[in-house]
């Protein structure tokens, strides 16, 4: 991998900084991961999103799958019937207890980035909540490209938790949005893949049974960056869009009907929750509405708001979603942009 002086959208691409892939703890990974960790690295809603992503994107019949940097759970839906699932990781007990795996391989990819598999062997390679620990990601992405069949999928899924001492510097120091760009860069720099796609699920309420449910934390965000290896069958077309379940699934017609009744109900036409009265800020630079207040849906589980993160990402607007706002003056609904679940809440008028 080249290490100096390359330029991209950043002034200087941080993946080419000399210390980008250094870690606070440089002891052998095999030592760090010799400790069994039979824990969930994500909350249950986020875990179900991971399964949905895999279920939506893996369209091959009886695929040969590699779970790269595997632990005790590969998140492969029970309804999927792969021809084989190889788990490559460092913890023997975890891999042996992983019910999806048909084969375990113990190999330290930071020690030797060459993957111990023949070329064009797998249909799918997935890497879940582990990309932050790769010290030679571009080399590894090239290797993944080598062992995938043409048109095969490399699916990288991550969230925002990490073993900080083992995560590489560039990952630790990047924002969540920048991490998506980093992974896109790994794909692009490897030269083996089509232009990568992105899926984002964030800002959803934490499941009620979660130990942090009452801490004000939202559910763990899920980011997926994925791409097919170049050279696939041009007739197969693109992989399907990831199907997430965003709560109430009203049809667009039902939503339109509910929009017409917002004036009398003051309920969000997307989730049915009562909207909150919200004071328009007295700020000449931000807003130009004449009225003193609006109604906004502040439900963090509202499909309109939750989908917004992914929609805005796809449009190139990173780190932004929107909430549904009702203007009582002109009886119209429109989106109002937000950067987090807390945005705009200062203006809520208690009634």
Ligand X SMILES: C[S@@+](CC[C@H](N)C(=O)[O-])C[C@H]1O[C@@H](n2cnc3c(N)ncnc32)[C@H](O)[C@@H]1O
What separation in angstroms does the CA of 228 have from each of 50, 221, 239? 18, 23, 9
228 binds ligand X (CB under 6 A): no
Name 262's Cβ contacts closer than 8 Å, sequence gap at least 6: 268, 269, 275, 295, 326, 331, 333
108 binds ligand X (CB under 6 A): yes
Using the minimum distance from each CB to ligand X, give the nearer residue, 74 or 244: 74
Of positions 133, 154, 295, 326, contacts ligand X by CB under 6 A: 133
303 binds ligand X (CB under 6 A): no
302 binds ligand X (CB under 6 A): no
* Residue nearest ligand X (C-beta atom): 71
227 binds ligand X (CB under 6 A): no
Token digits for 171? 């990952």
Name 342's Cβ contacts closer than 8 Å, sequence gap at least 6: none
d(CA 27, CA 38): 22
89 binds ligand X (CB under 6 A): yes
Site for ligand X in 48-87 (CB under 6 A): 69-71, 73
Of positions 23, 41, 206, 307, contacts ligand X by CB under 6 A: 41
| Min CB(30)–ligand X separation in Å | 8
| Min CB(117)–ligand X separation in Å | 14
110 binds ligand X (CB under 6 A): yes
Which residues are at the interface with ligand X (CB under 6 A)?
A: 29, 33, 41, 69-71, 73, 89-91, 94, 108-110, 128-130, 133
């Amino acid at each position: 991998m080249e290490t100096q002086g390359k330029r991209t959208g950043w002034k200087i691409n941080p993946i080419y900084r000399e210390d980008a892939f250094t870690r606070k703890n440089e002891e052998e990974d095999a030592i760090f991961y010799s400790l069994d960790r039979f824990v969930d690295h994500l909350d249950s809603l986020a875990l179900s999103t991971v399964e949905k992503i895999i279920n939506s994107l893996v369209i091959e019949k009886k695929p040969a799958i590699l779970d790269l940097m595997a632990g005790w759970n590969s998140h492969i839906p029970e309804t999927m019937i792969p021809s084989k699932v190889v788990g490559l990781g460092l913890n023997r007990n975890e891999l042996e207890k992983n019910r999806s795996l048909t084969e375990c391989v113990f190999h330290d990819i930071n020690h030797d980035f060459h993957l111990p598999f023949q070329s064009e062997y797998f249909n799918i390679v997935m890497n879940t909540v582990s990309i932050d620990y790769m010290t030679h990601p571009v080399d590894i992405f090239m290797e993944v490209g080598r062992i995938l069949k043409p048109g095969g999928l490399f699916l990288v899924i991550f969230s925002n938790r990490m073993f900080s001492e083992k995560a590489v510097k560039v990952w630790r120091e990047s924002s969540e949005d920048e991490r998506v760009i980093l992974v896109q860069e790994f794909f692009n720099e490897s030269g083996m893949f089509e232009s990568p796609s992105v899926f984002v699920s964030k800002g959803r309420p934490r499941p009620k049974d979660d130990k942090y449910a009452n801490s004000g934390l939202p559910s763990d965000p899920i980011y997926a960056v994925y791409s097919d290896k170049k050279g696939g069958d041009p007739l197969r077309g693109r992989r399907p869009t990831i199907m997430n379940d965003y709560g109430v699934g009203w049809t667009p017609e039902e939503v339109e009907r509910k929009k017409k009744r917002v004036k009398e109900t003051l309920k969000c036409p997307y989730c049915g929750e009562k909207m909150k009265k919200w004071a328009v800020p007295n700020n000449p630079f931000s807003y130009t509405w004449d009225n003193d207040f609006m109604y906004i849906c502040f439900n963090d589980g509202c499909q309109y708001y939750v989908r917004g993160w992914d929609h805005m990402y796809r449009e190139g607007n990173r780190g932004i979603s929107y909430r549904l706002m009702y203007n009582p003056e002109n009886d119209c609904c429109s989106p109002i942009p937000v950067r987090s679940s807390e945005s705009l809440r200062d203006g809520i008028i208690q009634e």
